[in-house]
Amino acid sequence: MRQVCSGVLAMALTLLLAACVSVPPENDGREPRAVSEPADPERRASVRMELASAYFARGQATTALDEVNIALQAKPDLPEAYNLRGLIYASLGDAQLAEENFRRALQLSPRNADTLHNYGWLLCQQRRFAESELQFNAALAQPSYRGASRTLLAQGVCQARAGAWPEAERSLTRSYELDPSNPATAFNLSDVLYRRGEYTRARFYLQRVNSVREQSNAQSLWLAVRIEHRLGNEAGVRDYGRQLRDRFPQSPEALRLQQGSFDE
């Protein structure tokens, strides 16, 4: 069974909840198949969780919620179900129910790093930064945690939102060291360095994003324009500005470029 992680390129210091969900390989990219109901409660819960994960990965949150609820009817003490239900409620914009489910999942499995990460990000979204920091640190403290780079990325984004720039730089640098291929980490680290006045270093990390067309967007190109402006490189300003206007002419960033609002 392969693992699919939800997440997006964090170009404006934003990050979606990230969690790995199991997707049955025979259903990859296709509508999850109807299944016969196993008699054993544990197996029934497992089947329903696979379906819920598959539906959620496809963006069918309400159907996924139905499947999770059936799984919990079969096995009410399943922490993975509460974690997934928390993610689903978060995606539906219900922060209160999302928090209730993450807290219940942690009651059942206090050291589950994925749940700690997800709960930490939910708290960050609510600007409860101190509480969020505790959850991220708890996730990172788990032995053999394989998602440390994404948790450090989320932690760094939250620290930046809180204005804790040195801490954000440290977290994002550690995330980059663990996973230098992640464009979200490179962008966010570049953004933090720009805000700290480290323009040459910011340029280095951002070039890793903008050098691959599929990874760049209006936000990354606009940040590049601002970095080159700060460095006094007018040729760079013109080059990135041309790319921004040609590729994203209707974007807010293109409007700022037109207005010369480099410091906004």
Tell me whether residue 8 is in a domain: no
Tell me whether residue 100 is in a domain: no
What average pLDDT does the structure give for the chain? 88
Per-10-residue mean pLDDT for the chain, 264 residues long?
34 40 45 60 91 94 96 95 97 96 98 96 96 98 94 96 97 97 96 97 97 95 97 97 97 94 82
Domain of residue 211 covers 182-264
Each residue's pLDDT tens digit, 148-174: 999 999 999 999 999 999 999 999 999
| Per-residue pLDDT at 64 | 95
| Per-residue pLDDT at 246 | 97
| Per-residue pLDDT at 11 | 41
Q: For residue 261, give the CATH number of its domain.
A: 1.25.40.10
Tell me whether residue 213 is in a domain: yes
The alpha carbon dihedral of 87, 89, 94, 95 has a sign of: negative
Helix, strand, or coil here: 234? Answer: helix
What global pTM score does this model have? Answer: 0.85
- Note whether 124 and 158 are within 8 A (CB): yes
Helix, strand, or coil here: 20? Answer: strand
| Three-class secondary structure assignment of 70-84 | HHHHHCCCCHHHHHH
Tell me whether residue 236 is in a domain: yes
Q: Which residue has the tokens 């590729």?
A: 247
| Per-residue pLDDT at 189 | 97
Question: What residue spans of the chain are helical by DSSP H?
Answer: 41-57, 61-74, 79-91, 95-108, 113-125, 129-140, 148-161, 165-178, 183-195, 199-210, 218-230, 234-247, 252-259
Phi, psi of 8 (to 5 degrees): -135, 165
Give the DSSP H or E segment for 27: none
- Domains identified in the chain, total number: 1
Tell me whether residue 206 is in a domain: yes
Tell me whether residue 170 is in a domain: no
